[in-house]
Amino acid sequence: MEILPPTDQRNGSAVHRRGNVKNEETLERVVNGTCSSEPKVHSVWNNILFGPGRVPLWDWKALQIVVAFSALQGVLYYLPFGNVVEGKVGHDGKRIRYSLNGLHALAVTVLLLVGLWYCGMFQGPTVSGRVLQLVVACTALSLLAATVLYLHSLSADSRQLVNYGDGGNFLQEFALGRIIDPSVGRIDLKQFCMVRIGFIGWAQVDLCYLLTEIEMRGAPSLPLLLVVTFQLIYILDFLIDEESVLPTKEYTEDGIGFLMILGEYMWIPFFSSLPVHFLLHRPTYIFPLTTTIICLLFGFGFLVYYLSNDQKDRFRKNPNNPVFAHLETLPSPSGKKLLVSGWFGWVRHPNYLGDILMVLAWCLLCGVTSLLPYLPFLQCTNLLRQRANELEEACREKHGTAWQEYCRRVPHKFVPHVY
């Protein structure tokens, strides 16, 4: 009688074999949610660029994920933590109140995500394997939300609406928004979309990519781990200083329409995390010296970004603060003062420079084999260049000759002696 070897000898180990099967299935789900093997990890991009494949554009599970995340953030908005501050004066003559508990909402969301993953109730490819379908679901939900807001604006008080003048039309009003400060209960929809959906959503997408990498390879690669770390530092800084965005033009003057909603649902979470997605599919080795230089670049960019924003915000609140006694200022016809020394005596937009350097750092970790992971850097640079031009035009009208003198003393916008 033939004696068969034990199971672990016949198959190399039943446990090991099951682990291999699980890893292969995980990889298939990461790629495109269908049957695929590792050599076809770029099949999603091939389908998009060269023709239709087996990747469906619509997935009900993707819509459920987007709706569930939105509902969760709506519930977390009511957390009894964080400060409640007053912002601009609303159409009813009362100041709008904002709940600044975004950091607490992020913590709860991350703990919930990691807890479900640890218990085996959630897997990273649930998100990372549905990127295209999630983008489509986000677009559909943004279109629905923009339609509801537009219909609501038709019966809203005229003081709530953006004045587009005689040149306004339906497409402009639908895309850019007619209503300035819409709310649902205590939730200010601008703050909800910009902070809760955009930035907290970005953090969750990054973490799902990280969890997928752990499931696939046992541990994250150093470049992917650094990109996620850099981006989480950026997100945490934004949420810690959530109040600083309240005086911006987007909050005080602009409407909220399809483009803003779509940007927060789709552009910030998925486009900003593109370098992580790239490294998930195309792992890159970075030399230790290169890694050190990139980390120093990010650190320098973060310091410039953080310190210049801190100086600007504190000076805006109290220009007579003794802390600024050693800094040179210019009196403006508007009755305010312009800083012409410190960070803003170096270049006119040091905070934008820091922003650009941070984005460049986390893109450089992807290597130089493809332009794809550098798209966020190119988009960020162009966006901040346009925003700087708009801001300077507004300052020129507001401050007149004082602004002209400031530009004479500080001739460069972003990079000293270059631009």
pLDDT value of residue 301: 97
| % of the chain surpassing 70 pLDDT | 87
pLDDT for 10 = 36
- Gap between the Cα atoms of 374 and 363, Å rounded: 6
- Of 43-52, 91-100, 385-394, the least confident: 43-52
39 or 111, which is more confident = 111
The answer to pTM > 0.95 is: no
What tens digit of pLDDT does each residue of 217-227 get? 999 999 999 99
Whether the per-residue pLDDT at 32 is higher than 50: the answer is: no
The reported pLDDT for the residue numbered 34 is 42
Q: What does the H/E/C string look like for the chain?
A: CCCCCCHHHHCCCHHHHHHHHHHHHHHHHHHHCCCCCHHHCCHHHHHHHHCCCCCCCCCHHHHHHHHHHHHHHHHHCCCCCCEEEEEEECCCCCEEEEEECHHHHHHHHHHHHHHHHHCCCCCCHHHHCCHHHHHHHHHHHHHHHHHHHHHHHCCCCHHHECCCHHHCCHHHHHHHCCECCCEECCEEHHHHHHHHHHHHHHHHHHHHHHHHHHHHHCCCCHHHHHHHHHHHHHHHHHHHCHHHHCCCHHHHCCCCCHHHHHHHHHHHHHHCCHHHHHHHHCCCCCCHHHHHHHHHHHHHHHHHHHHHHHHHHHHHHCCCCHHHCCCCEEECCCCCEEECCHHHHCCCCHHHHHHHHHHHHHHHCCCCCCCHHHHHHHHHHHHHHHHHHHHHHHHHHHHCHHHHHHHHHCCCCCCCCCC
Orientation of helix 375-399 relative to helix 274-281, angle to 10°: 170
Q: What is the pLDDT of residues 41-68, one digit of tens each?
A: 445 545 444 344 567 889 999 999 999 9
For the chain, the maximum distance between any two Cα atoms, rounded to a whole number of angstroms, is 104
Arithmetic mean of pLDDT over the chain: 85
Lowest mean pLDDT among 2-6, 258-262, 356-360: 2-6
Model confidence at 119, in pLDDT bands (50, 70, 90)? very high
